[in-house]
Amino acid sequence: MMSGTADLAGVYAAVEESAGLLDVACAREKVWPILAAFEEVLPNAVIAFRVATNARHEGEFDCRFTVPGAIDPYAVALEKGLTTRTGHPAESLVAEVQKHCAVDSYGVDFGVLGGFKKIWVYFPGGRHESIGHLAGIPSMPAALAENADFFARYGLADKVDLIGIDYASRTMNVYFAASPEVVAPDTVKAMHREIGLREPSQEMLDFCGRAFGVYATLNWDSLKVERISYSVKTENPLELSARLGAKVEQFLKSVPYGTDTPKMVYAAVTSSGEEYYKLQSYYQWRTNSRLNLSYIGGRS
């Protein structure tokens, strides 16, 4: 077990240093309480750093780590004062998913400026959940049931690997294992047309063709699918057909962590038509993690 503040100080220093590569100042009062709240799980966690290229995420640097299934991360966040209840249905979702589904493990996401943001719920490897089952959970966004036929048309209805709950933006992500057919250019374009998004550029279509997973973003205030994103694993993101931008490229060249581990790059189109990418690199990697099962099952 990681013991004492000296070890936490090391993790904090890595977060601060990595954020600094992007000229993002780390707010200690936001970051330290989160690390301290989950001190016992950090030694065996996957710890990742993440940066996005779009305007909405400019000036922020996100970090995430995995949490064993025996620990309820939302309960910890409440107990430690990282978040408070407001009565929104998102706040009940983790507990309700625990009652209705088998859960393997969790993830926690925070920003160095924004603090505690998200929780991921990983279902057991090889045991996908279905949209039909998840849509029956009371606190789920109504958009999940509303778009069940959409997901079924593209062969995704019974391929849910995990969900993500964003308490800051009050949105939810549903992550699917993707077949080669669902990330083919014609399918990607058809899915975007159905949800009213601009057709991706050829650059992004080339990127999507390498994806092993896709995820849809929903919220509780709309019946629409807000966005579809695509997940690619790679050893060298700079080789991808992706406009990562000068700062992100410099981050990739300078960050001292995760040089021998996979990287994740995510791509999406916003409602305004902006194409953007998110890069995820690893400070601490664990080959036996639930997260790694997704990589092993992913398409090269």
Tell me the CA distances in angstroms from 187 to 37, 224, 257, one per residue in order.
43, 19, 36
- Note the pLDDT tens digit of each residue in 239-292: 877 778 887 888 888 887 777 788 889 999 888 888 999 999 999 988 777 766
Q: Using only the alpha carbons of the chain, give its radius of gyration.
A: 18
pTM above 0.75, yes or no: yes
* DSSP 8-state assignment for residue 57: G
N-term to C-term CA, the chain: 34
- Cβ neighbours of residue 18 under 8 Å, at least 6 residues apart? 49, 61, 251, 255, 257, 283
Q: How far is 148 from 157, CA to CA, in rounded Å?
A: 7
Per the structure block, which two tokens stand in for 199?
């057709």
Q: Is 16 helix (H, G, I), strand (E, B) or coil?
A: helix
Q: How far is 274 from 268, CA to CA, in rounded Å?
A: 8
Residue of 189, 186, 161 lying closest to 175 (CA atoms): 161
Q: How far is 238 from 102, CA to CA, in rounded Å?
A: 37
- Note the pLDDT tens digit of each residue in 181-203: 999 999 999 999 999 999 999 99
- Note the pLDDT tens digit of each residue in 107-125: 999 999 999 999 999 999 8
Q: How confident is the model at residue 31 (pLDDT cuts 50, 70, 90)?
A: very high
The mean pLDDT of 155-166, rounded to a whole number, is 97
Phi-psi region of 196 (alpha: psi -120 to 50; beta: other; left: phi over 0): left
Residue 106, phi then psi, degrees to nearest 5: -135, 170
Q: Is 149 helix (H, G, I), strand (E, B) or coil?
A: helix
Cβ atoms 210, 299 nearer than 8 A: yes
Q: How far is 124 from 103, CA to CA, in rounded Å?
A: 6
